[in-house]
Structure 1
Amino acid sequence: MALTIEWKHRIELWEKALWNACYRPLQTLYLEGFATTEHLTPQQALQRTFSPMPPGTAWGAKWEYGWFRTLVTISPEAEGKRVVIRINTGGVESVVWINGQPAGSFGWGHTEITLTRQAAAGQRFEILLESYAGHGHITVGDGPYPDGVESVPEPGPTQCVVGDSSVGIWREEIYQAAVDFSTLFDLSQLLDPRSLRACQIDEALMDATLLIDPELPEEEMLETIRAGRERMRPVLEKRNGPTMPTLFAFGHAHIDVAWLWPLVHTQRKMAATVLNQLALFEEYPEFRFLQSQPHLYWMLQQYYPEIYARFKQAVREGRVIADGGMWVEADTNLSGGESLIRQILYGRAFFRDELGVDSRVLWLPDVFGYSGALPQILKGCGMIGFATQKITWAYNGGEQFPYNIFWWEGIDGSAIPAHIFTDYNSEMRPRNLMERWNTRLQANGIHSMIQSFGWGDGGGGPTRDHLEFYRRVQDLEGLPRVRMASPAEFFEDLFAHGLPRERYVGELYFQAHRGTYTSQARTKRGNRRSEFALREAEMWGCAARALQGFDFTPQSLWEQWRNLLLHQFHDILPGSSIARVYEEAEAAYAEILAAAGQTAQQAARLLSGSGAGRTAFNSLPWPRRALFATPQGEVEVELPPCGWAAIPNQPADASPAPSARAFKAADGFGLENELLTARFNRRGELISLWDKETGREVLAGPANRLCLYKDVPTKWDAWDLDSMTELLPVATDEPVEMEVLTEGGLAARLRLRRRLHHSTVEQVITLRRGSRRIDFATCVDWQERHKLLKVAFPFNLHTNEVVSEIQFGHLRRPNHRSRQYDADRFEICNHKWSALVEEGRGAAVLNDSKYGLSARGNTINLSLLKSAMAPDMNADRGLQTFTYAVYYWNGSLLESGLLREAYDLNVPPLVVEGTSAAEPVSLFRLDQENIVIETVKPAEDGSGDIILRLYEGMRTATRCTLKTALPVQAASQTNLLEEGAQPLDFANGEIQLDFRPFEIKTIRLHV
């Protein structure tokens, strides 16, 4: 029978009563403690002075930790019982030591810790806690803020108040009955109320409420509990038929490496979470727990070596699933291509060398979109599958993603099995399991999904509740089967039952969090500069080792690489963390740049010679004309590909012709060379770009037009950029000052100064001789709240798509909003360039540190700055420097020179003191300019071999010749992890290579 409302109310009341009766306090615990900002060991903390801190005591300034202690003596009443403690310090999270041993944690997901499962009267337990006070108000965006209101106000001198703490008996029989009861009640509410199964469950629950009497004295009440459990037992033992799907389950505690807390606090989060899991392993031998990020293992190893040793042993025993692929769960939109490879290279190496496991699945549950370059990277790194859930989180609407299990095909045609589930911090109650299956994206071709369970981000991971429910729902009639297994086992089962039929091509675009392409601009600039600085250091370090015996190994820059990869975590690089995270990120980038720069300088000086003068090094795989300042003026030097040349001390006597010139006109200013004439109005807007070669106007309207918009996202402030933002322009009609800065010669320059709302802008606009590129070197003193700054470039071109560079290639996306998915992509991600392309010409907007843009019709709008107010209320305020450029060409995209120009803007030549005054030297040459040498690095095995990473960048099959001047004895091709070498024909310093469109190749040179 279907439950009547009256019976349902009774069952709900009994369920609540059972859960409330699980804990019976025996005595109050009183705490004593102190607060500090130091990171202390327990031994150090116990040397400090502890003062009484009874309930009601206020403590905890910003960033402080409280150390608390108390003593528990087991009373005779608890003899033979399970005894637990509940301690409320008032802090956010607490790590707990019992009798000197790390034992567990308290947090919002973990409210009690078991002292003993079989208490003995008189037992004594010394309790020590380290509790985090917090750092003030936490917000991810609370909507519009009134003028003058701080979104993240500073906290007062104390943030926490000590609450009530106690020790008590955990009434295990009542707890087991509560889990039985909730399992069945949950299930009955999911079934057809007229089904036989639902009726039998309802009858059992009704009878149980008649049998269980919570009001009786202890022993009599427990007898009724046993009778109620016995009545429920038959319906709990019913098993499924053969056609039920399977959920592959494992414990999980998604721990953001940094987010609404600083990196240093993540160390405690990791320790707290691991301690909870170690305790569960002892009681639940079937339990398995996924910990994905090597950096978190590394943190634990550095700061809690005793806990790490126990956790590492659990990995060896198979209780901990050590898998995930990357060093951290990195953003894949913004990170460079080589960085993504290093994430997996170093991540898999840690799993293998330190933990003795082979990580084969990329686990990225919380990343904000997935690059179309990833399938090739994953396949080249030996991965067997990719799993995420974030794509389903389209809370502002949009076109639903079609699949849960599918082949994901990347921009080069590589494909890898992929799985999209729907939550990474699930519970294990029947309603969660049924929801997982019933909300799947596809009906056919699917028989299983992943179910990761546990409390994340400070919740401390799974609890006993998760595992007790698991024991009841593994094969419970009416629910999907649940199997404790790893992500790798999920994919292996998928292979065994037949690979997916569905295929999805291109990037996995996330229909939210579009503001993360722009938020925290200084961090994004630091990332771009650091990636190229490490590239530079590795190239010249390898060259100097091969030619001059320079001490350079794979370990030389490991700390800098680890630091870079760490800050590519998906809540750091995207710009969605608190202010302290970005203060520390900017300091980290400064250290990376200093160390990489020092290595590059030392190596280059060995290569350049010690004679008087200067030498310029070009790490790009094509020749370039570079400008250098001398006391007598600018000089232009032809630099060979991947090589170096001396810089003259002064310009040549004869002025170069033709040259560039800057001029002032009646209605504005202009720049001109032999290819282009650019005219600017008095607002600094580029109103004409005349192509002399074809006699055509390039622009369709004013360009370099700075557009300011009101930007108040409806949900996640730093993360989102809503579609209505473009409907909220802010007037920017303040006066503009312009002047000719450099009249002419090798380069002509204009300077622009202006106010922009509450901010100021200065630009130096440069056109060089013989160039089709105009650079806009920009400095902004940004003082806005909830504003978005874009720069618009409308072109006189017609196309239905915008071409944007991503890692190792480019994507084509619509520049219209004809269908829902077209409209959903109103803000997209690019790396160094985006272009509008006709068959015989095109125009591009280049950048040195910007990622977000919108393209509508014939206009590219590059996003420059976004001033979110949460979780960092001063995001991006202060000085911002960056350069963008406009570039125009005639001919096909393949012949455009676009790759050269974009790299040239991002990779300035390296200049060192000293020169040999010899002929220019080129270490590597390619005869096709659509092939890029992205990386030159030492082989990871320490052999002294050199690894080259090359890719095809223009989407066309290409045969090319790689020529090297290094003393190479042989060459081979490997996978991206430098494994599986296949010999290549190598003669006279040359290798013939065939590339498919967007293919990445890894070449090992045996020096």
Structure 2
Amino acid sequence: MHDDRKLVEGRLERVLRERIRPAIHPATTPLDVEIWSTPGEPVPVADGLAAPTRPITAGTAWGAPWGTSWFKVTGTVPAEWAGRTVEAVLDLGFTTRQPGFQCEGLVHLPDGTPVKGIHPLNSQVRVGSPVAGGEEVHWRIEAASNPDLEASGVPFQPTLLGEKATAGDAPLYVLGEMRLAVLDETVWNLVVDLEVLGELMAELPVDGARRWEILRAVSRSLDALDLQDVNATAAAARDELAGVLAAPAAPTAHRITAVGHAHIDSAWLWPLRETVRKVARTASNMTALIEDDPDFVFAMSQAQQFAWIKEHRPEVYARVKKAVADGRFVPAGGMWVESDTNMPGSEAMARQFVYGKRFFLEEFGLETDEAWLPDTFGFAAGLPQIIRAAGATRLLTQKISWSKTNPFPHHTFSWEGIDGSRVFTHFPPVDTYNCEMTGAQLAHAVRNFKEKGVATRSLAPTGFGDGGGGTTREMVARAARMRDLEGAPKVDWAAPADFFAEAEAEYPDPPVWVGELYLELHRATLTSQAGTKRGNRRSESLLTQAELWATTAAVRTEYTYPYEQLEAIWKTVLLHQFHDILPGSSIAWVHREARETYARIAEELQDIIGQAQSALAGDPSGGRELVFNSAPHTRRGIRAGGASARPGDGGAVTPVPREGGGYVLDNGLLRVEIDARGLVVSVYDRAARREAVAPGEAANLLQLHPDFPNQWDAWDVDSFYRNTGSDLTQVKDLSVEGSSVRVERVFGDSYVAQLLSVPADAKRLDIDTLVDWHETERFLKLSFPLDVKADRYASETQFGHVYRPTHQNTSWEWAKFEACNHRFVHLEEPGWGAALVNDATYGHDVTRTVRDGADAGTTTTVRASLLRAPRYPDPETDQGVHRFRHALVPGATIGDAVREGARINLPEHTVTGTAADIAPLVTVDDEAVVISAVKQADDRSGDLVVRLYEAHGGRATATVRVDGFAAERPVPTDLLERPLADAPQPAVADGGGWSLALRPFQMVTLRFGRG
């Protein structure tokens, strides 16, 4: 036989499209359909089932944006179909452009029992196999008409559909056919056979024997098929393929562990309330598929999503719990949500694992051993220690494959964090977390795998996400054919833990990657939606304060520790750290709700703090003002809490006029000159006798850049934004306001007011910035050009800091042109440094230049990113009023940066009462050891839990003391407050307390029993 290769491949494509696939359902009959649309938000299932309906026919428009409609679908299986397999094909008006991101539904029985979700590429529902004929079909479908924000086919176009109030009420969808159909399983299997072989053939070498064996078998199969009677001849066509499908894979074939998966963003192009329903639909699908296929294993991460099913759809949850018990529906990841990991603070990142792992333990009795973060936008260098402290040892991610500059050099490796902790990490070479088990995807995984010769296996998260409904029966069937197929990798279904165990066993000494896993994309997520980011930072700060003061009051007074309330608030904050909420990449609806939620949380936490401090202060009629200070740092050590009648920092110095215009602020430690433009032209450190601002430069300089990335508007800022821009030097008003210099500017359609002040007894310049922002596609930066020669700088991250270069020797360094910091950035040369601290920003950039002329010094410029104005997916991103607080700290050591970063985020509170000075509950005698949490144990035992870490990057030996109750010797625990048997035990210190030795950046959790 001398068939031309391209001729056979073209023949296969057309015959599949025009003859074989249409023959999957050889007989159909229409179903009767009626509809009821709820005028507002979704109604309970019982209400939807009972609602009155009216007839609707195919071709009729339905579904206002974000609306819910209940379809009543009825029909009778024809008697002549007895003995056949019958299913319904239910088309809500789907497009096949993508598997999700549009309308979707959940099918129910009349009693409300969920049957299965329906989605664009997964719209069939089994009726019977075989049927007897005459069966009555009576279903109700809860259908969501969620907008397809890219229905035009042009991505990233501004749209008003992302907010219910502006989306309008015009129907979005046109009802398709809803029919009962005979499923010809032989034809269906023939389709899968031919798809798998055709895709495999396309990936094999053109001159290889295996490719030609498959091609000839496919040709014979098509010859055996009568195109006028596909159903009668499908079995014969399959017979011609049996031989090539039976040929076993080579012993050296790459091994792929398929894990059923449905990546469901907890919010993104839909609000949180819709994710609740997406999860229920997908879980219904996956439990049904588990019942149909004995090999299939599905993994779902995000404890929050399990909790949603439990709360809102208990009947679905019952099926999930059974499948979990059977080992087929696998809780993965051990986090509350798949959060961003760059911006969450130390305690928040720890609590993601605390609440996630505890949920899985309490609900299922399972201890997860991996972090599962396929879609998170890069990974902070402090994360390995947190993973290990939570009792896990592994990490899976996929997103690093999106990096645009440097291909990551490994797929299986050991990732080392800032403290030396390592986690076994896998980065699937299939390069997608929505694998469909296609030949092209699996061949790419094999070619792409960078550990060839030393490792043989990789993982493929398989299934449609975000409304696509998860893994499909077609994906499962493809995997079955590639279990052991010559020319293909060997595919098996297994849980993530099984994959990791096998991968670790065969690759016990993988290469090591040290430091952050920086994503060379989506850098603007560190700045977009400033209101969401401020809400997160404020919530984190208030939560740690609330725990501290509630614990102190509970130990020393009759105050009752609010366990349930604090846990609920923590879980809400953790939810909003999801990797499309905190990064600012969701629709307007999501961020409006986030701002409202953060405001409510702030009120609750301030109430908790106020009640606890009042309990400690005593009778408010006493008239004595007590200043409660939560900032843990002093220049002598660390204290948790404490209050005294002494004032805070003694006020601020008064500005005096400057020769040539402007003002001078001088407290004897620092002399700051503000010129007539409102710019800081000098910050002189009197003790060091040196200037902080680079010669001829000005600090506190607002800079405005155009911001129109090539794609991913809310996510990306491209390097070319720096090519053009303007310095905002025009001043509207420069005046004295109390002890501050007030600077007002107008630019474009926006307004900015700044207050600059210097405390009376501290070496720092405080800058309070208010911006009424009404720009579009602009990027606002706040610049500080400093006279410092630094080859690297430190950015705070979880439980420490990470160093990044200031130069761009390599493409890896160049790619970090926008990076994340928490509360401080610090840079120094031997003997002198400077820090920029903040209370709400994350994005920043640091650059360096060498000055011309005799000086030839180095200017290192730190710029804080304040605001952006992308138009997609929220066309009104950041419009309105924002407040930012920064402080420049000249002469700062890394310890000063840590202390000042905490101070600006933990304001003092004044309470009136009769109490004398209130001693701190916990103290540490070394300022390098920072207390990150003081709380009562989660098990309600009343034990005290203290978490602390070495913050300077060196070794430390510190004494920890507890005041206010007879504490037993502290027990080192993991993050879930379980004793660590092999951890070094604190020693009794001279003079009381317990001595603790820490390595650089080590985090330790201590549990004190109540003696």
Match of 2:50 in 1: 47
Shift of 1:656: 7.8
The one-letter code sitting in structure 2 at the alignment partner of 1:905 is: I
Shift of 1:920: 4.6
Say whether residues 1:966 and 2:968 are aligned partners: no
CA distance in 1, matches of 2:560, 2:149: 49
Say whether residues 1:722 and 2:718 are aligned partners: yes
Say whether residues 1:349 and 2:358 are aligned partners: yes
Counterpart contact for 2:779–2:869, Cα < 8 Å: yes
Shift of 1:246: 1.0
Counterpart contact for 1:201–1:235, Cα < 8 Å: yes
CA distance in 1, matches of 2:426, 2:871: 35
Match of 2:36 in 1: 34
Q: 1:415 aligns with which of 400, 404, 422?
A: 422
Shift of 1:237: 0.7
Q: 1:182 aligns with which of 191, 195, 198?
A: 195
TM-score (norm 2): 0.93
Q: 1:614 aligns with which of 625, 639, 657?
A: 625
Counterpart contact for 1:94–1:132, Cα < 8 Å: yes
CA distance in 1, matches of 2:483, 2:59: 45
Say whether residues 1:853 and 2:881 are aligned partners: no
Match of 1:948 in 2: 946
Counterpart contact for 1:27–1:167, Cα < 8 Å: yes
Counterpart contact for 1:658–1:674, Cα < 8 Å: no
Q: 2:235 aligns with which of 212, 226, 231?
A: 226
SS at match of 2:503: helix
Q: 2:880 aligns with which of 878, 881, 885?
A: 878
Match of 1:78 in 2: 81
The one-letter code sitting in structure 2 at the alignment partner of 1:409 is: E
SS at match of 1:854: strand
Match of 2:588 in 1: 579
Q: Deviations over 1:860-910 (max 9, x none)?
A: 0110011111100001111111211111116xx35x522111111110013
Counterpart contact for 1:143–1:712, Cα < 8 Å: no
CA distance in 1, matches of 2:262, 2:921: 48
Counterpart contact for 1:660–1:674, Cα < 8 Å: no
Q: 1:126 aligns with which of 130, 138, 142?
A: 138
Counterpart contact for 1:622–1:926, Cα < 8 Å: no
Counterpart contact for 1:639–1:920, Cα < 8 Å: no
The one-letter code sitting in structure 1 at the alignment partner of 2:645 is: A
Say whether residues 1:490 and 2:493 are aligned partners: no
SS at match of 2:295: coil
CA distance in 2, matches of 1:426, 1:958: 47
Counterpart contact for 2:654–2:740, Cα < 8 Å: no
Q: 2:172 aligns with which of 138, 159, 182?
A: 159
Match of 1:196 in 2: 209
CA distance in 2, matches of 1:24, 1:561: 55
Match of 2:905 in 1: 906
Match of 1:745 in 2: none
Counterpart contact for 1:706–1:792, Cα < 8 Å: yes
Q: Deviations over 1:703-738 (max 9, x none)?
A: 111001110111101011110011131464544211
Q: 2:614 aligns with which of 602, 605, 608?
A: 605
Q: Deviations over 1:618-642 (max 9, x none)?
A: 22333489xxxxxxxxxxxx99762
The one-letter code sitting in structure 1 at the alignment partner of 2:202 is: Q
CA distance in 1, matches of 2:653, 2:478: 78
Identity %: 34
Counterpart contact for 1:339–1:565, Cα < 8 Å: yes
Q: 1:549 aligns with which of 548, 558, 568?
A: 558
CA distance in 2, matches of 1:420, 1:256: 19
Q: 1:401 aligns with which of 391, 404, 408?
A: 408
Match of 1:759 in 2: 750
Counterpart contact for 1:2–1:193, Cα < 8 Å: no
CA distance in 1, matches of 2:118, 2:359: 30
Say whether residues 1:803 and 2:814 are aligned partners: no
CA distance in 1, matches of 2:654, 2:760: 5
Aligned residues: 974
The one-letter code sitting in structure 1 at the alignment partner of 2:417 is: G
Distance 1:215 1:640, change over 3 A: closer
Q: Deviations over 1:407-429 (max 9, x none)?
A: 10001111111111121110113
Counterpart contact for 2:532–2:591, Cα < 8 Å: yes
Match of 2:476 in 1: 467
CA distance in 2, matches of 1:866, 1:463: 40
Shift of 1:531: 0.6
Q: 2:66 aligns with which of 56, 63, 66?
A: 63
Q: Deviations over 1:970-996 (max 9, x none)?
A: 222122222224653346541111111
The one-letter code sitting in structure 2 at the alignment partner of 1:578 is: I
The one-letter code sitting in structure 1 at the alignment partner of 2:733 is: E
Counterpart contact for 1:934–1:951, Cα < 8 Å: yes
Match of 2:1003 in 1: 1000
CA distance in 2, matches of 1:711, 1:471: 48
Counterpart contact for 2:652–2:758, Cα < 8 Å: no
CA distance in 2, matches of 1:143, 1:242: 44
Larger deviation, residues 806-815 vs 920-929: 920-929
CA distance in 2, matches of 1:176, 1:657: 79
Match of 1:713 in 2: 709
CA distance in 2, matches of 1:151, 1:429: 33
Counterpart contact for 1:663–1:671, Cα < 8 Å: no
SS at match of 1:978: coil
CA distance in 1, matches of 2:458, 2:638: 55
Distance 1:750 1:732, change over 3 A: closer
The one-letter code sitting in structure 2 at the alignment partner of 1:192 is: P
TM-score (norm 1): 0.93
CA distance in 2, matches of 1:695, 1:543: 43
CA distance in 1, matches of 2:183, 2:152: 37
CA distance in 2, matches of 1:300, 1:805: 37
Distance 1:657 1:740, change over 3 A: closer
CA distance in 2, matches of 1:180, 1:144: 38
Distance 1:124 1:320, change over 3 A: same
CA distance in 1, matches of 2:329, 2:692: 60
Q: Deviations over 1:947-972 (max 9, x none)?
A: 11101111110111122213113222
Shift of 1:184: 1.3
Distance 1:378 1:908, change over 3 A: same
Shift of 1:659: 5.2
Shift of 1:585: 0.9
Match of 1:979 in 2: 978
Q: 2:735 aligns with which of 739, 758, 767?
A: 739
Counterpart contact for 2:527–2:584, Cα < 8 Å: yes
SS at match of 1:21: helix
Q: 1:790 aligns with which of 775, 781, 790?
A: 781
Q: 1:923 aligns with which of 914, 921, 924?
A: 921
CA distance in 2, matches of 1:92, 1:517: 31
Match of 1:838 in 2: 829
Say whether residues 1:13 and 2:4 are aligned partners: no
Match of 1:936 in 2: 934
The one-letter code sitting in structure 1 at the alignment partner of 2:136 is: R
CA distance in 2, matches of 1:341, 1:319: 28
SS at match of 2:758: strand
CA distance in 2, matches of 1:1004, 1:465: 51
Q: Deviations over 1:836-872 (max 9, x none)?
A: 2111111121110100001011100110011111100
Shift of 1:436: 1.4
Say whether residues 1:561 and 2:561 are aligned partners: no
Structure 1 unaligned spans of 5+: 626-637, 743-747
CA RMSD of aligned residues (A): 2.4
Q: 1:673 aligns with which of 667, 674, 699?
A: 667
CA distance in 2, matches of 1:703, 1:2: 74
Counterpart contact for 1:409–1:503, Cα < 8 Å: yes
Structure 1 segment 341-490 matched on structure 2, within 5 A: 341-394=350-403, 397-421=404-428, 422-490=431-499
Distance 1:51 1:230, change over 3 A: same
The one-letter code sitting in structure 1 at the alignment partner of 2:14 is: L
CA distance in 2, matches of 1:785, 1:662: 38
CA distance in 2, matches of 1:23, 1:732: 67
CA distance in 2, matches of 1:317, 1:966: 49
The one-letter code sitting in structure 1 at the alignment partner of 2:461 is: S
Shift of 1:445: 2.5
Distance 1:284 1:958, change over 3 A: same
Shift of 1:7: 2.4
Match of 1:629 in 2: none
Match of 2:327 in 1: 318
